[in-house]
Amino acid sequence: MRSFLPLLLSVTLVAQQPPPAASKEEPVFRSDTRLVVQQVTVKDKDGKPVEGLTAKDFAITENGVAQTVGFLDFQKLEEITPAPVLIDRVMPIPRLAHSAIAAERPLDLKYGDRRLLALYFDMSAMPPADQIRALSAAEDFIRKQMTPADLVAIMAYSGGEVLVHEDFTADRERLLSTIQTMIVGEDEDAPAAVTGGTFGQNGGEFAIFRTDRQLAALQTAAKMLGNLNEKKSLIYFASGLRLNGNDNQAQLRATINAATRAGVAFFTIDARGLVASSPMGDATRPTPGGNGAYTGAAAMGVITQLQRSQDTLWSLAEDTGGKALLDVNNLGLGIENAQKAITSYYVLGYYTSNTELDGKQRKIKITLTGGLTATLEYRESYFAGKEFKKFTTADKERQLEDAFMLGDPITEITMALEVNYFQLNSAEYFVPITIKIPGSELAIAKRGGAEQTRIDFMGEIRSGGPANNIRDYIPIKLTDATAAELANRPITIDSGFSVLPGKYKLKFLVRDAETGRIGTYETSLDIPNLRKIPSSNLAISSVVLSSQRQEMSEALYNANKDKEKSQTQQAVNPLVQDGQKLIPSVTRVFSKQKPMWVYLQAYQQNYDPDQPAPQALAAFVTFYRGNTKAFETTPVTISERVANRLNTMPIKLNFPLDALVPGEYSLQVTVLNPVNQKAAFWQAPVMVVP
């Protein structure tokens, strides 16, 4: 069972050397001109595309105001005549991930006269059997139904991110090879995969947001495709999509709006195919109890659940101009529907006369001039862009979520992060997280005239599925005195949680809510199982290096409003002792003028009460420059221990650095048990400055 500590945040200012003077800013030139691109399909009474029209043949209005057509280009697509290609052997290729769809310039039509089909696999929403059916349908389409006019991209939602495995290409062999590299069952992000414990969040709580995550990922994919000027179709494979509550309805609208704005049509495919469920549920569900098995309520519940999971797929397709494929075993028909929906069309662009970035909806009407009659299909409205200062609360939340979903991180704010681990008991480990942001990053808001700002935080820890997450903010007043202090000191954010040993991925975002600037930090964390280390080794935690201890009452900013939770974290966090907090040096840069603090824990795990108490330990620190020993502290005897089954022994070392010459060093912490000859070593690079 996995358990979690409440995630708590605190923020303090930590002294550091003044940053170098800012260089003179380069002038920035901006234009208020806004280009609007439309894809217009013109068909005659027989349903055939009309060719040969010019810009003079179109009249366009925006909110009733006439606009001037800036450019017009006809995209002539060949009739769909599948040309099956026999490919006996597919050569493996390197797997792409965490990339993005290559964007086009505003007036560039890189994919002229081509049909753009994006195959999107929601791996988190499909069990292995459905994943196999979806991938097989895609492979069969590429082999048998793909035409010379088709370009196919392969995208997936896996591991909490939107991945682009293959950008638009006509290379069938490359597409087939990419599909074969997609591992079935690699992202089983089911609620049951995350089990909760005594400290807080559990799998049920994460399940509430599961559909939101799927829809947000789909919105991110639509925005990627929106960077292309041509007509696009996204073929969405999933095993249904079930909404839960009003928040999901809002996210559904946001996803549909994003697709409409980007000119993307969703063609949704239920990868379950034609489902024939037993009235009482299949073998994956326990036998129902109560009267529902006899009154028909249980059977109706199964049918209703299936229908509701398909309603969202139908809405996504219907509201974006696509088509849903439900209760059909031949999943390839869904791809063919998307293929047939894109015929020859015109790409029309105009520069809107309304340059206000207010985010409001604007209605578009396009007609033919000169008495021409035809049926026109086009996007009848769009949403204007919006400046950050005009964002609503929902807009700002959406901006953070979008940034979190992107595989290409936003790094407008510089930040550093340190993660440590300390063993709590035979199974759990406490993981304190320290994030450091230069205060000068927030001073920008003060220079812009703001009297206050806030730092928004979003973070997630994953191991297969979500293990824990963070969402909070810190208000900061930007008085003249505070701004001057921010310019010379970093802001440190602390948090912590409890997990089992294993490999984790961490991703954190911070945003200055006044300027809208965002910073991202991603890292991996490997927590070893200290009960399984070699018998000749001594079990120790990670090592914290610091140059400052601070009174808890001196924190300038504190995000935790719950005193009880704050006291709980302080009781568990080994970096908080006697009302003081040890501030980890995230950058590991130390001044000769200040002493260095080294903290770690040793564990002489004794699960047999009849065994003798653990022996005293010896610990010391060595500094190396290359292969030469530059400095070594006097060994310290460690005899203090915590009365628990781990026999936890805190190791606290404190020594001056004035004997060291400024420069780079390799620091080594050595812990020895002189009696049984067990030892542990830890190394890290450090920098000593004057």
Contact by Cβ (8 Å): 115, 151: yes
> What mean pLDDT comes out for the span 202-228?
70
For 477-511, the pLDDT digits (tens) are: 666 666 566 666 677 777 878 888 998 888 888 88
For 637-689, the pLDDT digits (tens) are: 998 888 788 888 999 999 999 989 999 999 999 999 888 888 899 999 998 98
pLDDT of residue 485: 63
Q: How far is CA 209 from the centre of its chain?
A: 14
Grade residue 544 by pLDDT with cuts at 50, 70 and 90: very high
More confident residue, 430 or 359: 430
Contact by Cβ (8 Å): 280, 298: yes
**Which residues, at least 6 apart from 434, have a Cβ–Cβ distance to it below 8 Å?**
417, 418, 419, 492, 493, 494, 583, 584, 586
Q: Is the pLDDT of residue 96 over 60?
A: no
**Which residues, at least 6 apart from 534, have a Cβ–Cβ distance to it below 8 Å?**
none
Q: Kindly state the tokens that stand for 312.
A: 């969202």
87 φ/ψ sector (left φ>0, alpha ψ -120 to 50, else beta): beta
Grade residue 124 by pLDDT with cuts at 50, 70 and 90: confident
Instruction: Report the CATH fold assignment for 109-343.
Output: Rossmann fold (3.40.50)
Grade residue 168 by pLDDT with cuts at 50, 70 and 90: very high
Q: What is the domain partition of the chain in residue ranges?
A: 1-18+392-529, 109-343
Task: Give the start-end residues of each E strand in 92-188.
Answer: 115-122, 150-158, 161-169
Grade residue 426 by pLDDT with cuts at 50, 70 and 90: confident
Task: Give CB contacts under 8 A, 24+ apart, made by 626-631.
Answer: 630/660, 630/661, 630/665, 631/659, 631/660
> What mean pLDDT comes out for the span 308-322?
87
**Which residues, at least 6 apart from 384, have a Cβ–Cβ distance to it below 8 Å?**
34, 354, 356, 357, 358, 359, 360, 361, 362
For the ranges 422-426, 548-552, 675-679, the one whose mean pLDDT is highest: 422-426
More confident residue, 634 or 305: 634
Q: Encode 287-328 in three state secondary structure.
A: CCCCCHHHHCHHHHHHHHHHHHHHHHHHHHHHCCCCCCECCC
Mean pLDDT over the full length of the chain: 77
pLDDT of residue 268: 95
Please state, in angstroms and as integers, the Cα–Cα distance from residue 413 to each residue in 441, 455, 516, 583, following that order.
Answer: 7, 11, 10, 21
Place of tokens 């703001």: 450
Grade residue 85 by pLDDT with cuts at 50, 70 and 90: low
Grade residue 522 by pLDDT with cuts at 50, 70 and 90: confident
Percentage of the chain beyond pLDDT 70 is 72
DSSP, collapsed to helix, strand or coil, labels residue 672 as strand
pLDDT of residue 361: 80
The interaxial angle of helices 297-318 and 245-262, nearest 10 deg, is 30
Paired with 423 in beta bridges are 429
Grade residue 32 by pLDDT with cuts at 50, 70 and 90: very low
User: Pick from 344, 309, 339: which is nearest to 323 by CA?
Assistant: 339
Q: Is the pLDDT of residue 15 over 50?
A: no
pLDDT of residue 68: 92
pLDDT of residue 27: 41
Q: Is the pLDDT of residue 236 over 70?
A: yes
Q: Is the pLDDT of residue 690 over 50?
A: yes
pLDDT of residue 155: 93
pLDDT of residue 203: 31
Question: Where is 256: in which H helix or E strand?
Answer: helix 245-262
Please state, in angstroms and as integers, the Cα–Cα distance from residue 609 to each residue in 362, 399, 620, 644, following that order.
Answer: 75, 55, 30, 11
pLDDT of residue 29: 37
pLDDT of residue 220: 87
Range with lowest mean pLDDT among 238-247, 350-359, 424-433, 548-557? 548-557
Phi, psi values for residue 306, rounded to 5°: -65, -45
Contact by Cβ (8 Å): 404, 69: no
pLDDT of residue 14: 45
Task: Give the start-end residues of each E strand in 560-603.
Answer: 576-577, 580-584, 589-591, 596-603
Distance CA 342, CA 49 (A): 11
Distance CA 677, CA 525 (A): 29
For the ranges 145-159, 247-261, 438-452, the one whose mean pLDDT is highest: 145-159
Grade residue 607 by pLDDT with cuts at 50, 70 and 90: very low
For 263-304, the pLDDT digits (tens) are: 899 999 999 988 766 666 566 555 555 555 556 666 666 666
pLDDT of residue 99: 61
pLDDT of residue 310: 85
Distance CA 593, CA 308 (A): 66
Instruction: Characterize 509-523 residue by residue with b for buried, 16 or more Cβ atoms within 10 angstroms of its Cβ, and e for exposed.
Output: bbbbbbbebbbbbee
Paired with 233 in beta bridges are 117, 265
Distance CA 378, CA 40 (A): 5
Instruction: Characterize 123-137 residue by residue with b for buried, 16 or more Cβ atoms within 10 angstroms of its Cβ, and e for exposed.
Output: bbbbeeebbebbbeb
pLDDT of residue 160: 72
pLDDT of residue 515: 78
DSSP string, 395-425: HHHHHHHHHHH-SS---SS--EEEE--EE-S
Instruction: Report the CATH fold assignment for 1-18+392-529.
Output: Immunoglobulin-like (2.60.40)
Grade residue 324 by pLDDT with cuts at 50, 70 and 90: very high
Q: Is the pLDDT of residue 193 over 50?
A: no
Grade residue 142 by pLDDT with cuts at 50, 70 and 90: very high
Q: Is the pLDDT of residue 206 over 60?
A: no
For 329-379, the pLDDT digits (tens) are: 999 999 999 999 999 999 998 999 988 777 678 899 999 998 888 999 888
More confident residue, 238 or 96: 238
Composition of the chain by helix, strand, coil, percent to 5: 25, 35, 40
Percentage of the chain beyond pLDDT 90 is 25
